[in-house]
Amino acid sequence: MVKVGIIGGSGLDDPDILKDAREIAVETPYGKPSSVLTCGVIEGVDVAIMARHGKDHSIYPTKVNFRANIWALKEQGCTHILASTAVGSLREDIAPGHLVFPSQFIDHTRKREVTFFDEDVVVHTPMAEPFCSNLIDLLSSSSETLKIPFHKNKTVITIEGPRFSTKAESHMFRSWNADVINMSTVPEVVLAREKQMHYAAIAMSTDYDCWREEEESVTWEMIMETMKKNADQVIRLFMHVIPKIKEYDDICVK
């Protein structure tokens, strides 16, 4: 049975899109998740929404309890995860307001718990294709239908944060063929893969980081303003995509 977990990023923590919504507090072996789960139904599909940074956005990126978050969603029966996230663009054609559906990541974090397999047994999880290609295709086709500008099969680099990049770092990340940058996708996608859950990121470009000389360097205020302007597009996309997920027979993650 398909159940979709939505992990909300900035401005999308708890959209009012669920029928029969109720809150569930989950305890995990890894401590408390970032928030309670808001559970309900969208077009006949069970959904659980979690606020990655807490309901009041009080958890900075490194302190997000990613293992507790993913464990909680798995424990509640989630088979798929749609994770919204704000990203900075490292490419001219990925303009602020555009959506990006990455297919690859680069891990530039240093301080995070990145696996469930750190005791008793060693498991080397395949990670060549970390994001679910079926979800990327569904997100792309729905974006076309809804006339939402998007980019697919891009590479996201996740940095530790909470600071933003220097210009030297931003240019270096571009030279590594990264297309967008954020502070949240890793280890979230890795842990979802370890738990055999289908995962896709819905990344909203909010700025041009700091590499583009003619643009103002990124600020938190800039990110929030763009997210607020465009959050309705992501919610429309959720509503369009989620009913289609149950049509895919792809429960098992290889």
- Preceding amide of 149 cis, omega within 30: no
Total Cβ atoms within 10 A of residue 60:
12
Angle at 154 (CA atoms; ends 136, 247), nearest 5 degrees: 5
Tokens describing residue 16: 């009012």
Sign of the Cα torsion 199, 70, 126, 161 reads: positive
Of 13, 209, 249, 250, which one is the catalytic site residue? 209
- Measured between alpha carbons, how far is 210 from 212 in angstroms, rounded to an integer? 6
- Provide the 3-class DSSP secondary structure of residue 20: strand
207 labelled catalytic: yes
Q: Which helix (H) or strand (E) holds 157?
A: strand 150-159
Q: Which residue out of 13, 46, 179, 207 is catalytically annotated?
A: 207
Prior bond of 187 cis (ω within 30°)? yes
Q: How far apart are CA 238 and CA 149, in angstroms?
A: 15
Catalytic residues: 207, 209
